[in-house]
Amino acid sequence: GPEACERNRRHHPPSAAWRRLGSSGIGGTKVSARGRLTANLGEAFAAARNQYRRARARVTLLKGRWHTAGRKLLSKKQLQLMRLRERLQPVAQSSPSSAELGWHAWFSSRYWQLSDKLEQAARSSRVCQFFSANFRLDPQRIALGFAEGTILYKSTVW
């Protein structure tokens, strides 16, 4: 009844749009509860849309800032790497080759060359891919283990 309406008005004051219209509505006709609900929903939707747009603009701004910071860091790291290479280049040119160091250096460089070749072959081999997929083995480790096993076998048998 009228008491419930009065109590509802006290606890839930009308929105700004309805205060402008007044209680009589447009053209002097009474505004229905459904009309008030539609207006309130429209205002809530507009407010939510504006809040979403503001949040999206903030995200875009932050993405731009992260992108700029990442590019600055990348260029700084690239510059450090370039300077390090420049410093190490004369050292690499002045160091003796593996042939000049002796059999151990030659054997080591040969071992790594062969293990790289074996690793490349293991990556392209269907058998190795089958074992690595089904038994969750790393092809690089399979190749390295095979190379080390071969070296151990040759060193013990011969």
Give 5-45 pLDDT, tens digit per residue: 555 555 555 555 555 555 444 544 566 777 787 888 889 99
Q: 115 vs 40, 136, 154, CA distance in Å?
A: 73, 21, 15
Report helix angle 139-157 to 103-124, nearest 10.
140
Give 42-92 pLDDT, tens digit per residue: 899 999 999 999 999 999 999 999 988 888 888 898 889 888 888 887 765
The confidence score (pLDDT) of residue 98 equals: 52
> Please, where are the H alpha helices in the chain?
2-11, 16-21, 33-94, 98-101, 103-124, 126-135, 139-157
Average of per-residue pLDDT across 145-155:
78
The confidence score (pLDDT) of residue 28 equals: 47
The confidence score (pLDDT) of residue 35 equals: 77
The confidence score (pLDDT) of residue 20 equals: 52
Q: Which among 108, 107, 106, 132 is positioned nearest to 119, based on CA atoms?
A: 132
The confidence score (pLDDT) of residue 56 equals: 94
Higher pLDDT, 144 or 69: 69
pTM for the whole structure: 0.30
The confidence score (pLDDT) of residue 93 equals: 62
Q: Per-residue confidence at 94, pLDDT binned at 50, 70, 90?
A: low
Asked whether 122 and 151 are in contact (CB, 8 A), the reply is no
Give 98-133 pLDDT, tens digit per residue: 556 677 777 777 778 877 887 788 778 888 778 778
Going by the DSSP 8-state scheme, the letter that residue 102 receives in this structure is -
